[in-house]
C-alpha cells in the first residue's frame, strides 16, 4: 500500500486515562495553516505569474495550491505528473485543456481533474485568465515552479521574460516527478 493510503495507528489517553487508538493518514495537517500575500511567494513561470497560496511545506505534504495569472498563450508543455493529481479551477478567462485525445475549452467556474500518469497540457485562449491548480499530494509541482521560476515582487502582471531552455526545463521537471513528453500547446 502506498504512503497516501497507509493508516497510522497512534495511541493517546482519553479523559479517564484509558488508552485509545487514533487512526490517521500520514501527512495529516496538525496545525492551522494561515498564509497571506506577504508570505506567499510570487514567481514568473513559463510566461505567467504564479502565486504560491499554500506550498506542500505548509501542508505537511498533503497538497499545494497555486494561483496562476497569464495572458493569451500562457501555457504548459505536454507533461505528466508521476505522483500527484492536478486539479484546475478556472476563476476568470478560458483555457484549452488537453488530456490524451480529449480537448476541452474550460471557462470561468469550470473544474478539470487530471489524474497522475496521464499526459496533459493547457493554454490560455482568452485575452487573460486566472486559475487555481491544486496538486495532491503536494511536493512535486510547487517545488518545480520554485526552481524554474523567477521571483516577482511587482504589483502588475510580469512581462513574459525569457523562457527556460527546453532541455534544462525537462531536467528540472524530472527532478520533481514531472515528465515533459511533448511541445507547448498553442492558443
pLDDT at 4: 42
pLDDT at 1: 38
Name which residue leads in pLDDT, 159 or 130: 130
pLDDT at 30: 73
pLDDT tens digits for 76-117? Answer: 999 999 999 999 999 999 999 999 889 999 999 999 999 999
pLDDT at 164: 77
| Sole residue written with cell 497516501 | 4
**Of all residues in the chain, what percent carry a pLDDT higher than 90?**
59
Amino acid at each position: 500500500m502506498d504512503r497516501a493510503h497507509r493508516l497510522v495507528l497512534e495511541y493517546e489517553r482519553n479523559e479517564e486515562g484509558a488508552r485509545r487508538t487514533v487512526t490517521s493518514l500520514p501527512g495529516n495537517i496538525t496545525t492551522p495553516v494561515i498564509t497571506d500575500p506577504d508570505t506567499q511567494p510570487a514567481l514568473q513561470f513559463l510566461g505567467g505569474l504564479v502565486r504560491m497560496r499554500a506550498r506542500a511545506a505548509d501542508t505537511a505534504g498533503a497538497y499545494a495550491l497555486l494561483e496562476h495569472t497569464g495572458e493569451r498563450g500562457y501555457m504548459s508543455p505536454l507533461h505528466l505528473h508521476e505522483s500527484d493529481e492536478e486539479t484546475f479551477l478556472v476563476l476568470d478567462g478560458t483555457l484549452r485543456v488537453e488530456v490524451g485525445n480529449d480537448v476541452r475549452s474550460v471557462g470561468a467556474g469550470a473544474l478539470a481533474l487530471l489524474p497522475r500518469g496521464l499526459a496533459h497540457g493547457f493554454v490560455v485562449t482568452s485575452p487573460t485568465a486566472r486559475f487555481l491548480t491544486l496538486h495532491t499530494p503536494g511536493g512535486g509541482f510547487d517545488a518545480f515552479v520554485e526552481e524554474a521560476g523567477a521571483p516577482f515582487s511587482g504589483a502588475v502582471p510580469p512581462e513574459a521574460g525569457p523562457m527556460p531552455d527546453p532541455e534544462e526545463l525537462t531536467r528540472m521537471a524530472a527532478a520533481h516527478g514531472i515528465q515533459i513528453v511533448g511541445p507547448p500547446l498553442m492558443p
